[in-house]
Amino acid sequence: MSLAPAPADVALAEAARPAAPPRRRPLIAILLFLTLAAMPLAVSLGVPAHWLTLVTRAMIFAIAALSLDLILGVGGLVSFGHAAFIGIGAYATGIMITEGRSEALLILPVILAACALFAAITGAVSLRTRGVAFIMITLAFGQMAYFLAQALSAYGGDDGLTLYERSTLAGFKPFANRTSFYYVTLATLAGCYALISTIVASRFGRALRAARENATRVTVTGYDVGRIRLVAYVISGMIAGLSGFLLANQTDFVSPAFISWQRSGELIFMVVLGGVGSLHGAIIGALAYLFAEDVLSGWTEHWRVIFGPLIVLFVLFTRGGLVGIIGKLASRFGSRRDD
């Protein structure tokens, strides 16, 4: 029984279909990870050192964007509250470090459990709706988490919480050094990428993707679409929680601003910027976004005045994101093996 997408909205599906022509796309992903792995070397050869911090931060957001791509790109569920999971991860880290429990092997299970719980509850409610209502409800739940963080007066409330030490990992201190922090983040990103790619390629992932195209058909085929979506939502939330852990350690600070709805909007933009549903597109999108932010905010404190219209123009005039553009360029150069 094939679970091929219905031909309904072919243009959209083409732009968004993950890993469709099997050869070229992993090549981009491999190149991407090789480049990232070579980054510290490039820094020792003279690339500005703050790039290492910037790329670490970009990779942290890439983990969150990647997890969002699982539900938004593959599952077709536009969640506008994804920053809540980053916030849960960051706050769990901040609170436990403040309470003297800075071992990552203690913190991470707490984060995963808390994110899974929050995702299961909010997902069970919001997945009862479709389309625009889902967008609005996830936005509202994200905002709920934001106000909850503001009300945590014991842990900084509105002002946020400064962390005076970083986590340890099995007794070692990989987060104390910039280069080792970089590699831990890269390894986490690669692990999450491998995990989500495996999920997408599995029977579960194909059912999730097929449900985006035609939920009724998938239901008739014998899958419980609601449960598949909920499981994907929970997995996605747990992975985003990991990025919150890394973010809190990198910035030595946690604040409600981590959960603001603008942050959720930025995550969506990273996914769309890279190319919806392609997974490595989310990573490219996060890198591009943080570099653009870095450059523009270096020019003017009012960088959003430039960035906002850029988003509008991007939406109006491009399809398929950066990955689509790269693909088009690649096929122009290598037309011999093209479809």
Other CB atoms within 10 A of residue 326 CB: 19
- Which residue, 146 or 223, is less far from other proteins as judged by CB? 146
Q: How far apart are CA 279 and CA 19, in angstroms?
A: 8
Please work out the total of residues on this chain that contact other proteins, with binding judged by CB under 8 A.
46
Give 206's contacts (C-beta < 8 A, 6+ positions apart).
3, 200
Q: How far apart are CA 313 and CA 325, in angstroms?
A: 15
Residue 136 touches other proteins, criterion: CB under 8 A: yes
Residue from 68, 84, 137, 246 binding other proteins (CB under 8 A)? 137
In the stretch 229-268, what mask flags binding to other proteins with x, by CB under 8 A? --------------------------------xx--x--x
The least CB distance from residue 243 to other proteins, in Å, is 21
Residue 8 touches other proteins, criterion: CB under 8 A: no
Residue from 113, 201, 295, 312 binding other proteins (CB under 8 A)? 312
CA 147 to chain centre: 22
Nearest CA to 269 out of 238, 298, 310, 239 is that of 310
For 119, phi and psi rounded to 5 degrees?
-65, -40
CA angle 198–204–208, rounded 5-degree value: 105
Residue 309 touches other proteins, criterion: CB under 8 A: yes
Nearest CA to 141 out of 74, 70, 68, 85 is that of 85
In the stretch 157-186, what mask flags binding to other proteins with x, by CB under 8 A? ------------------------------
Residue from 14, 35, 147, 194 binding other proteins (CB under 8 A)? 147
In the stretch 60-99, what mask flags binding to other proteins with x, by CB under 8 A? ------------x-----x-x-------------------
Please answer whether residues 239 and 196 qualify as being in contact, where contact means their C-beta atoms are separated by less than 8 angstroms: yes
Q: How far apart are CA 98 and CA 165, in angstroms?
A: 9
DSSP string covering 135-176: HHHHHHHHHHHHHHHHH-GGGTGGG-EE-SS--BBTTB-TTS
Q: Which of residues 192-231 bind other proteins (CB under 8 A)?
A: none
Residue from 126, 185, 188, 236 binding other proteins (CB under 8 A)? 126
The least CB distance from residue 336 to other proteins, in Å, is 34
Interaction site with other proteins (CB under 8 A): 12, 72, 78, 80, 122, 125-126, 128-129, 131-133, 135-137, 139-141, 143-144, 147-148, 150-154, 261-262, 265, 268-269, 272, 276, 302, 304-305, 307-312, 314-316
